[in-house]
Structure 1
Amino acid sequence: MKRTHLPLNGLRVFDAAARHLSFTRAADELAVTPAAVGQQIRALEDMLGVVLFRRTPKGLELTPEAEAGLPALRSGFLEFEESVRAMQVGQSSQHLTIAAPRDFIQKWLSARLADYMIANPELSIVLIAAEGVPDFTESNLDLAISLTDGAGGHEGLALGAPRFVRVGAHEAKLTANILWPGSPDPSSAGAIRVPDAGLAIEAAMSGLGTALVPALLAQADIDAGRVRAVEDGKDMPLGYWLIAPLPQWRQKKVKALVEALQAA
């Protein structure tokens, strides 16, 4: 019989009924009615072409065919339980793999992860530099942080408001427009182009002009006085999102980190 055709639910009911030698007690264990247990047993007998139970004056009795199959069946259920435990180890492990843009790791994430790891000393983290939403199936990721307009086909939460702010040095040397890939600024003559928003902030800090960048990325430098906001912040379609497929999103270790990052 092919694995896809195995009557697993019927076998589970048979195991319970065989242990109790009672449809009523098996029904109590399985939280169903005795009639439902009887239906499952009859369906299993029809599929297998054998009789599994006989009624006697003393109650239910296993047939020789049923007794012959029980040891392997119970061994199989033990293997199933071990398999489930093995799969759950990843959920309870203290290892996280996170993908995020390189500049976001440097400007925002690293400091928060340091605080989180102090509070969770058993935790180990692997950081992967990635732009956009990565392929979770190929990268074996637990969580991604992306500058995007939503979670797409995954689960996700926005990390702060999607606001951008224009920053510049306190004493600017140039008035150039500092652009980076994905910058909402239009292209302009005399612009300076850099690889990412983090380097755009650094270029502005050096007095090379002004850059329109995510407020979340620039806030620490603004607070420390390394750059100043030369214009009021403005809402944009793009923001930083915490993203993961549903199985990863449900993991306790991912939920705990998402909650901590949102509170940071």
Structure 2
Amino acid sequence: MKRTHLPLNALRVFDAAARHLSFTKAADELAVTPAAVGQQIRALEDTLGVVLFKRMTRNLELTPEAERALPALRAGFLQFEESVRILQDAQGSRVLTIAAPRDFTAKWLAARLAGYARANPEVRFVLAASDGAVDFTQANLDLAIVFDGEPQEEGIHGRVIAAETLVLVGAPGAEADGSRIAHPGDLEATGLTVADAGLALDAAALGLGLAKVPATLAAADLAAGRVVPIGEPEPSAQSWWLIAPTPQWRQAKVRAIVEFLLA
């Protein structure tokens, strides 16, 4: 019989009925009715062209053919169970590989991953730096974080971390008309130029100018008093998104870390 035609559900019913030698007890194990068990056994007998049970007055008795077949059947089910365990172990790995821009990792992500690790000491993180589009086909990533609009790429699903605004910040006592630090997220600035918004924040805290940066990045520095807001926040067309190929969102480890980060 071809593999695609194997009556796997009926074979599972046969195994239960053979162990109990009772359709009623097999039905209890499988959470179905005794009539459903009887129907599956009759259908299996018709498919295979053999009799599996001798129906006695008070119980069932296996036919010699059924007796001979059971060891191989049960060995096959054990192999199925082992295959499922291997698949679950692979996707249930306690290693989480996350790609994110360096400044986002330093200013927001790292502290939250530390909190998650304290509550889940068996988890290990692998952090990769990303400065633009993430190619999941070329990297063994569980999750990525990008500063962008809603994901439009086919097969990529995302959840937004928070609606974003842009804030202008400077060191305590900084003048509102001070020079503005340039970085890839603020190319209009004409002062000191740095590689990313995180470095712009650090430079602003040292009094080297003002920095216009995403409020999410600035939150910890604002709370600590390293920088102060200058003027009112501005809306941003982009936000921080958690993204991954759609199938990866089914993994328990991905769902768990996402829910923690969004809590």
TM bin (shorter chain)? 0.7 to 0.9
**SS of residue paired to 1:51:** coil
**SS of residue paired to 2:182:** strand
1:123 is aligned to 123
Q: CA deviation at 1:217?
A: 0.6
Deviations 1:142-171 (A, max 9, x none): 333222334665555432332221234554
RMSD of Structure 2 on Structure 1 (CA): 3.2
Deviations 1:85-142 (A, max 9, x none): 3333356553222221221112221222233334443332111112456455653333
Runs of 5+ in structure 2 lacking a partner?
none
Per mean C-alpha deviation after superposition, the further-off stretch among 20-29 and 55-64 is 55-64
Deviations 1:160-195 (A, max 9, x none): 332221234554796346241xx3x5x648477654
TM-score (norm 1): 0.79
Per mean C-alpha deviation after superposition, the further-off stretch among 6-15 and 86-95 is 86-95
1:25 is aligned to 25
Matched, 1:159 2:153: no
Between the aligned partners of 2:189 and 2:238, the Cα distance in structure 1 is: 25
Contact 1:174/1:207 (CA < 8 Å) preserved in 2? no
Runs of 5+ in structure 1 lacking a partner?
none
> Which amino acid is 1:240 matched to?
W
**SS of residue paired to 1:99:** strand
Contact 1:178/1:203 (CA < 8 Å) preserved in 2? no
Matched, 1:178 2:182: yes
TM-score (norm 2): 0.79
Matched, 1:236 2:236: yes
> Which amino acid is 2:52 matched to?
L
Between the aligned partners of 2:30 and 2:151, the Cα distance in structure 1 is: 39
Contact 2:168/2:211 (CA < 8 Å) preserved in 1? yes
- The structure-2 alpha-carbon separation of the partners of 1:114 and 1:177, relative to structure 1 and needing over 3 Å to count, comes to closer
Contact 1:17/1:25 (CA < 8 Å) preserved in 2? yes
1:12 is aligned to 12
2:200 is aligned to 200
- The structure-2 alpha-carbon separation of the partners of 1:179 and 1:60, relative to structure 1 and needing over 3 Å to count, comes to same
1:212 is aligned to 212
Aligned 1:21-170 pairs, distance under 5 A:
21-90=21-90, 93-131=93-131, 134-136=134-136, 138-150=138-150, 153=155, 156-169=158-171, 170=173
Between the aligned partners of 2:86 and 2:199, the Cα distance in structure 1 is: 43
**SS of residue paired to 1:167:** strand
> Which amino acid is 1:89 matched to?
D
> Which amino acid is 2:54 matched to?
R
